[in-house]
Amino acid sequence: MAFYLPILLCLSLANLSTFVQMNYDETLSFLFNRLPMFSRTGADAYKAGLDNIVNLSRALDNPHHSFKTIHVAGTNGKGSVSHMLAAILQQAGYKTGLYTSPHLKDFRERIKVDGEMVSRDYVVAFTREITPLIDELNPSFFEITVAMAFSHFAKEKVDIAVIETGLGGRLDSTNIITPELSVITNIGFDHMNLLGNTLTAIAGEKAGIIKQEVPVVIGEATAETLPVFQAKAREMNAPLFFANETREVVNYTIERNTLVATVKPASSNHKEIYQLDLPGIYQTKNLLTVLESCTQLQEKGWNISEEHMHEALKHTKQLTGLHGRWELIRFQPQIVLDVAHNVDGITQLLQQVKETPHEKLHIVLGMVKDKDVKAVLQLLPASANYYFTKAQIPRALPEDELQQLAAETGLQGKCFSTVDFALISAAKKAGKNDLVIVCGSVFLVGEVSNAAIKEIWGKEDAGGWQYAELLSGLDFFI
């Protein structure tokens, strides 16, 4: 790594010798506690603007200039779309980087090459080398992780990297790349305190990833957001494609924890059937976005075949390590973990609940303070049993406050200090034909522990087909 000599000289030998001795866990503690972290503290950690990431990248010899990229933004679905695209590119034989956030269990989930997480040694070495810049620039946690990802991808000589925005787009730290393709999944209400209080304003921030003459795929557009995308695309002379206009899902079923979707192009009567190991019904929308993105990549000369797409979509979780999207971890009762956390996400989750056979519904719910909590609560059914809890982060809404807000909308339930206690209680109370869902926060899902999973499973069914079917999800959480 090449750094500015004056910056290096600013670091005292005493500080350097202290850091050199840090192991991986100590390095993570340094990053989590030394740097402002949005996922833990919220808006106070957000640094609007690209100056820091530009300076960090310049000091690292602009690693993002050495590989191709796809840039993915959107309110919901951008994580799933990013992972599916990465899986397809891997299946097509390209060495593929993947940068996403936040992580569920392991910090290294954010940075992967061909599905393999960045090594602990690299995290330690990179942080040691970049400490002078941390002292000089005081960057956010997210800015450092972006720089770390770009440096790792350059070092690994990836052919292409799928880069997911963190928040917004225009001022997001990832927005220093000039990609092969820009993708915006959809626009909904989230992070309004930072992105704006209207869909038009939020769309304007997301549209900031549209680059000069770079094709852009829009997953979904509304009357409010469509003109924003059209205007920005005209300004940048960027070819604009709407995924839901080029194809439609004419039928879908869920078979043995697999989503089977029949897709018909607008230009013909030919139908193609895709199997996804991501069984959330909302993945039908993401699928259309991914397919149109692949079409545009093919137009640019990327060698992606129908066979590559079919095989990758069957094994996205295995190829990329995606979890927490209608993640079924037990069949009787059905227990599902899902990272839905805003109005649009919860709306889509509840659609799947309606289409999932069950007797009673149990919802383990925890949210963060800066979400539109009341709007989410108003969507939830009063007939469900609720278990109010929180993630163990400063940004989390205390469970008793969540319970009080829920009571105002007619939702009743008990409080639990951790998601494990809440989930175990729900699992014990649920009948074998009931449905238990953990939702409301990415961080809540990430805190479901191996101890809780083992407590729920016990010895029952451990060797049967049900256990084998759920093994990838259970392996991750255990």
**Region 235-245: what's the mean pLDDT?**
97
**Model confidence over 333-364: pLDDT tens digits?**
999 999 998 998 999 999 999 999 999 999 99
pLDDT for res 335 = 95
pLDDT at 9 exceeding the cut of 50: no
pLDDT band at 48 (very low <50, low <70, confident <90, very high): low
Per-residue pLDDT of 388-408, as tens digits, reads 999 998 889 999 999 999 999
**How far is it, in rounded angstroms, from Cα 165 to Cα 443?**
18
pLDDT of 475 reads 60
Q: How confident is the model at residue 256 (pLDDT cuts 50, 70, 90)?
A: confident
pLDDT at 473 over 70: no
Q: What is the pLDDT of residue 452?
A: 87
User: Which of 197-211, 239-253, 257-271, 455-469 bottoms out in mean pLDDT, i.e. has the lowest?
Assistant: 455-469
pLDDT at 18: 45
Q: What is the mean pLDDT of residues 280-289?
A: 96
Question: Does 477 score more than 90 pLDDT?
Answer: no
Residue 24 confidence class, pLDDT cut points 50, 70, 90: very high
Strand order in the sheet with 160-164: 116-117, 111-113, 96-99, 160-164, 68-73, 181-184, 216-218, 240-242
Radius of gyration of the chain measured on its C-alpha atoms: 22
Could you give all domains of the chain from N- to C-terminal order, each with its CATH number? 5-239 (3.40.1190.10), 327-477 (3.90.190.20)
The pLDDT value given to residue 165 = 95
* pLDDT band at residue 257 using 50, 70 and 90 as cut-offs: confident
Tens digits of residue pLDDT in 429-459:
999 999 999 999 999 999 999 888 888 887 4
Q: Tokens 């697999």 — which residue? A: 258
